[in-house]
Chain A
Amino acid sequence: MRQLRFLLQKEFKQIFRNRALLPIIFVVPVIQLLVLPLAADYAIKNISISIVDHDHSSYSQQLVSKVISSGYFQLADYGNSYDVAFRQIELDESDLILEIPADFEKGLIRENHQQLFIAVNAINGTKAGLGGAYLNRIIADFNAEIRLDWQDPQRFQEFPTIEIVSSNWFNPLLNYRFFMVPGILAVLVTMVGAYMCSLNIVKEKEVGTIEQINVTPIKKHHFILGKLIPFWMIGIFIFSVGLFLVARLVYGIIPMGSLGLLYGFLSIFLIAMLGFGLLLSTYSETQQQAMSVAFFFMMIFLLMSGLFTPIESMPHWAKIIAWCNPVTYFIEVMRMIVLKGSGFADVKMQLLKTIGFAIFFNSWAIINYSKTN
């Protein structure tokens, strides 16, 4: 035990003296949490629209101002030539064309029927799809408004319409940040395990100090614990800064569920990731190697964890990778506990799997560690 104390003392001194590591521990998490959720926002805004108005009536004016005032669109061009508008799309200055035919108002009043034309620049599929959908929605709204203007409320409604009312559970304002922030917090903690811990051990290999340690009577498990405990604590520290400082103060996210459950899960997840870092370090001889391999796995961890894209819409083979990814479960549980207030029973399966990962990575690492020495 006394040896472990000396090891921990030494490790903390080195960490707090490392000018490259300190900013990573204290500054990077805050910046990532501040910048990423704002940038990784799926609500598409600022779609450029070109409106070709052949009618110039009061109804067409009403429609145009309704589109512009929705907040999603920016008027790139307003004119009466489709060719000019299409040229704008070709130049990538415009994403959408809304063509209002001549006699729009007249037709609407007399024939009770009118057609509009929307052309979409579909190079960016998401933007095109959502832009088109927003515009459809706005036009439908506009349509309902005119109906209301004309219809005698007393009269029997000729066309029955189905009105859809939805209520958004757990994130009523569909604030994308509520979805991203817990996920990014999970990623930050993953980085501590996969990068910092393995780099630290490989550095000792590279410099040669591990040899000196190996000729001392230090027990292997003490040495490993001496490495894991500091980074476990750093992981919990980073998580707490993110949760209490950034998520709460900046985004107003307060976990719905129990903090104890959240930290319990975090502790086990960290043990799994530190085991992964340890495993990487047993296979790497230089920090460069460890870094490259860790980077490769980080990419998979991030992209195949449901952080940005839902796992449900991945092809089957990708789903299998996602299910073998420990980060998947942590992100899932983070969102469940923080946004839904899920309890122990709800996250039991994820917890069991994470414990499995922790045992798997750590045993593999320890077996491999004793072999190489």
Chain B
Amino acid sequence: MQEVVIKTDKLTKRFGDFIATNEITFEVYAGEIFGFLGANGAGKTTAMRMLCGLSKPSSGQATIAGYDIYKETESIKKHIGYMSQKFSLYEDLTVMENIRFFGGIYGLTNKQIKEKIKNLAEKLGLQDQMRKLVGSLPLGWKQKLAFSVAVIHEPRIVFLDEPTGGVDPVTRRQFWDLIYEAADNGITVFVTTHYMDEAEYCNRISMMVDGVIKALDTPANLKAHYGAASIDEVFFELARGAKRSAD
């Protein structure tokens, strides 16, 4: 039996009459790369924001890293990393200052921060860019940096909301190398994406349609189950019935 790090039970979020996520129930195991797929407006971001403690669920239960989503949000925040759709490092701070700031607020010691800065500079090939403002970096580098900052405190789980949107294929490949490396280090990766080739890289994927999880399995099992050649076809098969128009 694998260790469960995310467990939800009928987690629901309503905005007035609109049910953004409807009684979703699933489990994510430690160390896996969990792909969270769905069309635009299917409720992925809403679900992810609830799991990160950014928005309160309307009903249902969930535990993240063993902490209750209602009562222990402060503990949850110490054990998760988050990278949003919007780029969210400080563009008017340098690479080094961003790393130092986020390291600092996650409670890393000065010595640890120094090491992180050195390691990241080498790993991302940013040695010459460390004193440059983040705003002046190309998008690919920014995304890789944002990911590295999101896992700077070695969290149990990292949530990635469409991390590779607008990034070129080579950088996407490099980005996934970073994700694999994080997973190898025992960090559970919870990722949403619109790229179906990326979905194939995940250990397991869930497909969300109209606020409900329609399917959840390994990519291979899903393809076999739907008799599809690729995840792309599975997605079309499931999303065809969607009533919510894409925004």
Residues on A lying within 8 angstroms of B by beta carbon are 2-3, 5-7, 9-10, 13-14, 17-18, 207-209, 211-218, 373
Contact = CB atoms under 8 A, between A and B. Distances in A.
B106 A14 contact: no
Given A2-B107, A212-B84, A216-B106, A14 B90 contact: yes
Interface centre among A208, A214, A215, A218 (most CB of B within 10 A): A215
Interface residues of B, number: 26
A208 B87 CA distance: 7
Nearest to A3: B105
Interface in B46-103: 52-54, 74, 77-78, 80-82, 84, 86-93, 97, 100-102
A215 B92 contact: no
A7 B93 CA distance: 13
Nearest to A6: B104
Contacts of B81: 215
Nearest to A19: B92
Contacts of A5: 104
A36 B234 CA distance: 70
A7 B86 CA distance: 21
B188 to A, nearest CB: 16
Contacts of B92: 13-14, 17-18
Interface of B: 52-54, 74, 77-78, 80-82, 84, 86-93, 97, 100-102, 104-107
A215 B77 contact: yes
Given A6-B101, A10-B101, A218-B105, A211 B88 contact: yes
B86 A208 contact: yes
A21 to B, nearest CB: 11
A207 B90 CA distance: 9
Contacts of A3: 104-105, 107
A10 B52 CA distance: 24
B36 to A, nearest CB: 17
A215 B105 contact: no
B105 A217 contact: yes
A207 B93 CA distance: 14
B229 to A, nearest CB: 38
B102 A216 contact: yes
A6 B78 CA distance: 17
A213 B84 CA distance: 11
A207 B105 contact: no
